[in-house]
Amino acid sequence: GLHVLRAEALALAHVAGLYESSATAQTGLVRAVGAVAGAQRRGGKLVVCGIGKSGHVGVKLVATLKSLGVGSAFMHAAEAVHGDLGDVREGDVLLFITYSGKTPEMRALTPHLPPRVPVIAICGASAPGGCAFLADRPDAILLPAPIPVSEEAMFGVGAPTISTTVAMAVGDMLALTVAQRLHGERVKGVFGRNHPGGAIGAVGR
């Protein structure tokens, strides 16, 4: 019922407060935006990687990025070690979405990543030390996406709900901030050109 909406609204307010007050979160956002925008200007792209519900968040994020004129692609974590790593080139940036920070498929992938490709992680940890996925990559960039109360405690079942809402919001923050950095006042025109269909496209015409 309504408690689900209230719980997700509370979690979004919590993460907004974190980015307002935490130097770790603020630094992560600045570094992530700089890395992605820099790669775009050099002809690279943002490769978003996830699996399970986080993978679906990643697919949506890539769709948003493309509509905003930010070159991007989705890479399924399980498929990456079966050939899809070929999509990652020098000059790209990798963004991983993992609430736990210890998703086995992603941890298995890390030894095979190109060494000079910057890594960003949207993770439920509030600090890099809480994200096991980043343990071997001290130069990686953390975008914290914690939730104040676990889904198990809130709803009696650990189905990804609050955590995926927060991850999606953090992804949207990154996408819109990068688009603003790249396109400035032209961002609305870029979006209109890339999204001519549907009711949104009709409004822009």
- Return the CATH number of the domain spanning residue range 2-194: 3.40.50.10490
pLDDT tens, position by position, 69-126: 999 999 999 999 999 999 999 999 999 999 999 999 998 998 999 889 999 999 999 9
The rounded Cα 95 to chain-centroid distance in angstroms is 6
Of 134, 124, 126, residue with least CA distance to 164: 124
Residue 198 φ/ψ region, left for φ over 0, alpha for ψ in the -120 to 50 degree band, beta for the rest: left
Alpha-carbon span 137 to 128, nearest angstrom: 10
Q: What share of the chain is helix, strand, coil (3-state, %, to 5)?
A: 60, 10, 30
DSSP-based three-state secondary structure for 147: coil
- Ranking 8-12, 46-50, 86-90, 125-129 by mean pLDDT, the lowest is 125-129
Contact 21, 175 (CB under 8 A): no
Distance CA 60, CA 66 (A): 10
Model confidence pLDDT, tens digit, residues 145-165: 999 999 999 999 999 999 999
Residue 138 confidence (pLDDT) above 90: no
Q: What is the pTM of this model?
A: 0.94
